[in-house]
Each structure stands twice: as C-alpha cells, then as structure tokens.
Amino acid sequence: MPKNDPRTLVSTEWLETQLNDPDIRILDASWFLPTSGRDPKAEFATGHIPGARFFDIDEIADLRSSLPHMVPPVEKFMSRVREMGVGDGHQVVVYDTSGIFSAPRVWWLFKLMGHKDVAVLDGGLPKWKSENRPITTEPAVIRDRHMFVTFQKEMVKDVTQVSHASKLQDYAIIDARSAERFRGEVEEPREGMRSGHIPNARNVPFSSLLNADQTMKSPEETKAIFEAAGVDLNKPAITSCGSGITAAILILAMERFGKTDHALYDGSWTEWGAFPTVPIATGEA
C-alpha cells in the first residue's frame, strides 16, 4: 500500500473514500503515442472514475509551437481548468488509462502553475478497474471556480538551457526513454529524428520505476535506481524523454524521495533530435 501523499501519489483505496468530497477534482489525463490509433477522449466517454473530467494534453498546450503539447500560455491553462471547474482550494487527483504514463505530465503542469495540492493516482485506471471500483459514463457537474496561477519558471527548461547544462555538467540530465532509444540502437517513433541522447545525460527508463501492476516503486527503491544509473543527486536535475510526457514520471519519483530541485526539458527529444546544431551521443552514458 503506497503512503498517501496528496501532493505526489495517492492510492485507489484512498481516492474511493474521497469521491464525495466537494473539494476533490479528478482528471483523466490519458494520452497515447500518435501511432497507437487510440482516442483517449472517446475512451473516457465509454467509462471513467465518477466525477472525472477529461484533460486534453494535446489541446491544453501551446498550439503556436511546432512541437507537441508544449506548456500552454498561463491564460490558456487558467481558462481551460476553470471550464473544468478546477480552482483554488481543490485537491486535484490525476490518472490515466495506462497506469502511470501521462498523468504525471499533468501533475507536473499543475505544479508548474503553482498549484500544490495535486497528486497522481497510483496504478491509474487499470488498478481501479481491477479492484472493481465504480466506473460511470455520466459527465461531471461543473461548478466554475477561479484558479490563481504563479508560474514556476525554474521548473521548465528550453533547448538553449539544456545545451548549456550538457556542456557545463552543472545539472544531472536524466533521460526517461528506453535503454535502446537512449543508446541510439533503434529508430525514433517520430519521423525525422536522429537517434541517441543528449551528451552527458544518464538513462533512467521510466518503466524501471514501476511495478508490474503499474504502481510506482517505493521512494527507497526509486532513489536506488537513479543512483545505480549514475545520476548525481547532489546536482539539480533536468529530465527529458521523447516529447515531455514520461520525463514527468522521473520528477514524480524524485519528489517522493525528497529531491525537489528539478526541471523538465519541455521539447525533449522531439526538439533535440531534430535540432541540427546540437550534438548527439550514442552508446552507454
């Protein structure tokens, strides 16, 4: 049983006891790779946790960018969450249909916007369903509430900042992709990407932090995994992945073992791998 922390990770058991709390807001943040052929919004309509609202990662984003689901402008984030009835004083719980995959991205996005009371559902919808907890197709009743945003700019990095960090080695750069992708042994899922990793990065595949049932391993276990990968936890961290989704899983794990000086490289490999002037490393770190 995970220790319930309303600022990082909560259990299915805990959430079921909170379903009637008027200050709980549940968000389905399911997202799939474009090649999956799956429609998370359509799946949400066929059944979700009672009271949940769908958070569209690809739409609540900076659509002016050529990169996918980049951090949205503050005003857009505020208006979208208000439309979902999420605001100040709410405890937000985010889940996804994979277990722990895309929900941490939305957890991180709320943290980036200065909202502290937000947690990921450990094991997500698969665990919830496996325990025969309630599912509904009914839409949530929306009551408008304002959210005050304080943007935490130190929590997000761009390609220039990551390039400097790679050269100076003053940050621990951690890549959440699979070992094969990190080493540059396989083609990237997005066309036109070079293969490999950011020089001086270390590899902690996000899947290594999860149990077989897609719950997160204990803080002690995940810390040991970071250390075994050669991550210098005395340095501030920058996490990266394919497109800024699973990099947030690494941040969630670090928060749980007490490391709070971290940032996410929003463009991640989708940007770095297509950027002609930045160097690429291959093989082991």
The residues annotated as belonging to the active site are 241
Long-range contacts of 274-277 (CB under 8 A, 24+ apart): 274/192, 274/193, 274/194, 275/159
Report how far residue 204's alpha carbon sits from residue 103's, in angstroms, rounded to the nearest whole number: 18
CB atoms within 10 A of CB 45: 12
Tell me the one-letter amino acid at 223: K
User: Which residues does residue 238 pair with via DSSP β-bridges, in sequence order?
Assistant: 173, 263
Tell me the β-bridge partners of 5. 9
Instruction: Note whether 220 and 226 are within 8 A (CB).
Output: no
CB atoms inside a 10 Å sphere around CB 73: 14
- 202-203 and 9-10 beta bridge pairing: unpaired
Contact 147, 86 (CB under 8 A): yes
Q: Show Cβ contacts of residue 146 under 8 Å, excluding neighbours closer than 6 positions.
A: 78, 82, 87, 88
